[in-house]
Amino acid sequence: MLLFLLAAGLTLIFGMLGVINFAHGAIYMLGAYVSYETGRRTGSFLMGVLAATFFTALAGAVIEKLTLRPLYERPHFYQLILTFGLILILSDLVRFVWGPGYQEVAIPQLWNGTVDMLGSTIPMYRLFVIGFGALVSAGLYLVLEKSTFGMLVRAASSDAEMVRILGLPVGTIRMAVFATGCGLSGLAGAIAAPLFPIELGMATNTIIDCFIVVILGGLGNIRGAIAASMLIGMVRALGYVYLPGWVDIMTFVLLIGTLLTRPQGLFYRTARTA
């Protein structure tokens, strides 16, 4: 579910806008640092999560309006160059503000414990991440599939010119989608902060996993992203137990097999017919 939280924003942006956002990992890193700084100043983990989500969503809106908007009609390599440059800018910004060292966020006291379940001892915070991820996935599904905003987003992604002719603000819709995707990435960074050290490598270490989820699940398919995240998580969990030296290879074999057999995504048909 943590992988889903991280990949959900990229799924939304890549699937709905067609933007290949290589800076998604940098936004995730920025969310973790904002959560750390807010929590350090306020003593509240919840305030850190809210601040990270709001700040990264606002940053996403600014990035979309000032940099991405002129590139929608151009070839995708313009987006690749731009978002790669954003990785460098955001990484240098974080290094300037927080330095190159590691930072840590303490697990909230409410979730700082363990639970005995099925013969295993499971940290309560990980159970919280599972439950929180489930709530986020349900919320995204309802917004994208059942709301008027979701209908507008799907229309703008499939035929932006027709939506513009009808008098609807395509630019505002695109900015809202990109801001939401960045906000989800920042939210994932804040939720992951108590589990992993916060450091500059977060900007690049996670982006490959995000794109794997997007490819396996199908573009713009939230249900597919959930299923792909769980599939990758289970493959890695079994790999760490039985074949620890082959975990990364197993993940890439799964990706390559999907590209060769179902390049549209393993769960594309389910999303279309459900």
pLDDT digits (tens, 9 = 90+) for 49-108: 999 999 999 999 999 999 998 888 888 888 889 999 999 999 999 999 999 889 999 999
Mean pLDDT of 35-61: 95
Rounded to whole angstroms, the Cα distance separating 38 from 156 reads 36
Rounded to whole angstroms, the Cα distance separating 86 from 143 reads 29
Q: What is the pTM of this model?
A: 0.89
Rounded to whole angstroms, the Cα distance separating 213 from 228 reads 5
Q: List CB contacts of 179: < 8 A, sequence separation 6 or more.
A: 57, 58, 60, 61, 64
Least confident of 16-30, 71-85, 142-156: 142-156
Over 70: is that where the pLDDT of 268 sits?
Answer: no
Give residue 270's pLDDT band: very low, low, confident or very high (50, 70, 90): very low
- For the stretch 161-203, pLDDT in tens is 787 787 778 888 889 999 999 999 999 999 999 999 999 888 8
pLDDT score recorded for residue 260 = 87
Mean pLDDT of 132-136: 90
pLDDT score recorded for residue 52 = 96
Mean pLDDT of the chain: 86
Beta-carbon count within 10 A of 199 CB: 17
Q: List CB contacts of 164: < 8 A, sequence separation 6 or more.
A: 170
CA-to-CA dists, residue 258 to 72, 119, 179, 188, 255, angstroms: 28, 35, 30, 26, 5
Over 80: is that where the pLDDT of 41 sits?
Answer: yes
Give residue 265's pLDDT band: very low, low, confident or very high (50, 70, 90): confident
Of 223, 219, 220, the closest CA to residue 258 belongs to 219
Helix (H) or strand (E) holding 115: strand 114-117
Say what percent of the chain tops pLDDT 70: 97
Which letter does DSSP use for residue 266 in this model? T
Mean pLDDT of 208-212: 83
Rounded to whole angstroms, the Cα distance separating 43 from 108 reads 10
Over 50: is that where the pLDDT of 48 sits?
Answer: yes
Q: Is 155 exposed, middle or buried (0-12, 13-18, 19+ CB in 10 A)?
A: middle
Which letter does DSSP use for residue 68 in this model? I
Sign for the pseudo-dihedral over CA of 86, 89, 92, 97: negative
The better pLDDT of the pair 185, 144 is held by 185
Rounded to whole angstroms, the Cα distance separating 136 from 151 reads 19
Mean pLDDT of 225-245: 87
Over 70: is that where the pLDDT of 147 sits?
Answer: yes
Least confident of 180-184, 230-234, 263-267: 263-267
Over 80: is that where the pLDDT of 262 sits?
Answer: yes
Sign for the pseudo-dihedral over CA of 40, 44, 49, 51: negative
Helix (H) or strand (E) holding 94: helix 76-98
pLDDT score recorded for residue 220 = 67
Rounded to whole angstroms, the Cα distance separating 162 from 143 reads 22
CA-to-CA dists, residue 38 to 51, 56, 109, 191, angstroms: 7, 13, 17, 13
pLDDT score recorded for residue 150 = 80
pLDDT score recorded for residue 237 = 85
